[in-house]
């Protein structure tokens, strides 16, 4: 399986509306899809990509801080997952296993970016699209403060924050993905909220 094939799967998904076939696929368990994919069923793996791409992107972004790098890391992680399906011992734990691959790939990319003196993302918007320059400046400054605060959290806490508040995942779902417990997730999120609040209050003052 090539990177071009995987890119085609992801791009095709973004362009295509939900179909009856997709609805039927949703009824199939992740473990069943993994089992079929391990036997070479590319459509089964394409459904795994559809199911977990958003979560994988969120995990990658929490590590890289750059949308483009997160997309690259996610594509590379799915390619590695396809190539290494035989190493997955529990088909029902595919999401947790995949997130581990995503984080490893994203960490490698972030390290290379630092080595190459490229800072993570904060991409510039097109100035021509700004309707109210003052409001846009306020929005950017606010987003920058939150972004800076997030990057003062450790990698695991930042990933949990992104999965909860950007992806809307429950503590149980986050715990499954990160191989921990819902109680541990709640505790880390509580501490992360306190830390973020203190950082933002210090910046405002």
pLDDT tens-digit map of 6-16 = 555 555 555 44
Collect contacts of 48-55 with beta carbons under 8 A, ≥24 apart.
48/81, 48/94, 49/6, 49/9, 49/10, 49/13, 49/78, 50/13, 50/22, 50/25, 52/94, 52/95, 52/98, 53/10, 53/13, 53/78, 54/167, 55/95, 55/99, 55/163, 55/167, 55/169, 55/177
List, in order of start, the domains of the chain with CATH numbers: 1-123 (1.10.1740.10), 126-205 (1.10.10.10)
- The per-residue pLDDT for range 27-80, each reduced to its tens digit, is 689 999 999 999 999 999 999 999 999 999 999 988 888 888 999 999 999 999
């Amino acid at each position: 399986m090539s990177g071009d094939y995987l890119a085609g799967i992801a791009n095709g998904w973004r362009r295509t509306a939900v179909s009856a076939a997709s609805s039927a696929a949703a009824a199939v368990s992740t473990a069943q899809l993994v089992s079929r994919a391990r036997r070479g069923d590319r459509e089964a793996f394409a459904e795994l990509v559809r199911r977990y791409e958003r979560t994988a992107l969120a995990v990658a972004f929490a590590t890289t801080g750059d949308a483009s790098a997160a997309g690259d890391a996610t594509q590379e992680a799915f390619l590695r997952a396809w190539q290494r399906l035989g190493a997955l011992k529990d088909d029902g734990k595919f999401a947790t296993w995949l997130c581990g691959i995503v984080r490893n790939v994203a960490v490698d990319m972030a390290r290379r970016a630092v080595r190459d003196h490229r800072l993570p993302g904060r991409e510039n918007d097109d100035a021509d699209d700004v309707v109210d320059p003052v409001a846009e400046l306020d929005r950017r400054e606010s987003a920058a403060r939150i972004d800076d605060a997030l990057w003062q959290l450790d990698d695991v806490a930042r990933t949990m924050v992104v999965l909860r508040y950007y992806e809307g995942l429950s503590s149980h779902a986050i715990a499954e993905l990160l191989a921990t417990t819902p109680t541990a997730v709640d505790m880390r999120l509580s501490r992360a909220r306190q830390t973020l609040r203190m950082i933002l209050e210090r910046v405002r003052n």
